[in-house]
Amino acid sequence: MHAPRSLVAIDLAAVAGNVRRLRAAAGGAEVWAVVKADAYGHGAVDVGRAALEAGAARLCVATLGEARALRDALPGAPLIALLPLRPGEEDEAVRLGCAAVVSTPAAWARARDRHDLDVHVEVETGMGRWGLPPELALVAGRELAAGPRPERLHGLMSHLATADEDDGAFADRQAAAFAGLAAAFPACPRHLANSAATLRRPDLVWDAVRPGLAVLGMDPFHVDPAARGLVPALRWTSAVASVRALAAGDSCGYGRRFVAEAPCRVALVPVGYADGYRRGLSGHGEVLIGGRRCRVAATVSMDQLAALLPDDLGVSEGDEVVLIGAQGDDRIRAEEHAQRLGTIAYEVTCGIGTAPARARREAR
């Protein structure tokens, strides 16, 4: 059996510790872990199980398809599908025991008389995507609370647009709009805060919080998660496939984007953009080899990259290469990839494809 070209290992002990950190930050509010998009590329089943065992009360997904995959593996897990159900999906939501979010007038019309369907009412407070107008959200909530099964009103929610930004003015506006409606429904869970608000805005924490990124140990403020007491769960590694010596004037990779100015060595690593290591990191990304940072020198190709080696670093075929994660005293964070690419850490980890092998370290 051939060894994988790269390996993504998920530290479930880190996930559990992050959930405990978020529970502490949330005070008495419940933590509902968001594990959509396969837990942002970390593996929704394993992450969801670890989160529940660490005290998360519910798991949030995007779609019924994601709920189905979780239900098969975690039969007792309380689930919420955050995107509106498509017409005709109500029966499956009931069968899966997955609560639905009503966030459009059409979704409310379909859910209104489905007394077997548990519902969260989403109100639009400024995100500009999903959410009922406040006046309709009030009507829907009151009808559900006064209906034949009032307990099917599982929650009232909204979604913050700018909680990760330093200027809190717009989040304050959203919070005020939400509070005006939330006061009418003290008996159901009210939830507004995401990872950023949970960690920095206790005034935006109601009865439950919905962190996703922070559960995985990534920083919602796009810097070092250690500053928030979070531990990254994902470690992505490969191995040196070959070490190539270049003379001055020699080039490496497509387009001759790297031309040696002096004799040097590059380590060839069998990972590329097909694996999720983005081409945009060509020339300025870094990997760890032997505990040292090595620049990704040439153009990242579909299934390989080349790292420029320090002159004093001894490297052999098979030596570990860290793409994301710690080695020695250093760590390459997903946030670093994001900053170099002009994006966010969510996109970086979601973009790690299925080509890398997967492993997990159990929560302790």
What backbone torsions phi and psi does residue 6 show, to the nearest 5 degrees?
-155, 165
Whole-model pTM: value is 0.94
Catalytic residues: 36, 254
Higher pLDDT pick, 300 / 363: 300
Q: What is the pLDDT of residue 362?
A: 54
> Would you call 292 helix, strand, or coil by DSSP?
strand
pLDDT tens per residue, range 45-97 = 999 999 999 999 999 999 999 999 999 999 999 999 999 999 999 999 999 99
Q: Sign (positive/negative) of CA torsion 160, 162, 168, 169?
A: negative
Q: Sign (positive/negative) of CA torsion 82, 173, 204, 135?
A: negative
With cut-offs at 50, 70 and 90, classify the pLDDT of residue 364: very low
Taking the chain, what is the end-to-end CA distance rounded to the nearest angstrom?
30
Q: What is the pLDDT of residue 1?
A: 52
pLDDT tens per residue, range 194-253 = 999 999 999 999 999 999 999 999 999 988 999 999 999 999 999 999 999 999 999 999
CA 239 – CA 252 distance, rounded (Å): 19
CA 47 – CA 362 distance, rounded (Å): 10
pLDDT tens per residue, range 114-139 = 999 999 999 999 999 999 999 999 99
pLDDT tens per residue, range 311-333 = 999 999 999 999 999 999 999 99
Residue 160, Cβ neighbours under 10 Å: how many?
Answer: 23
| Burial (CB count <10 Å: 0-12, 13-18, 19+), residue 127 | middle
User: By the 8 A CB rule, do 153 and 188 touch?
Assistant: yes
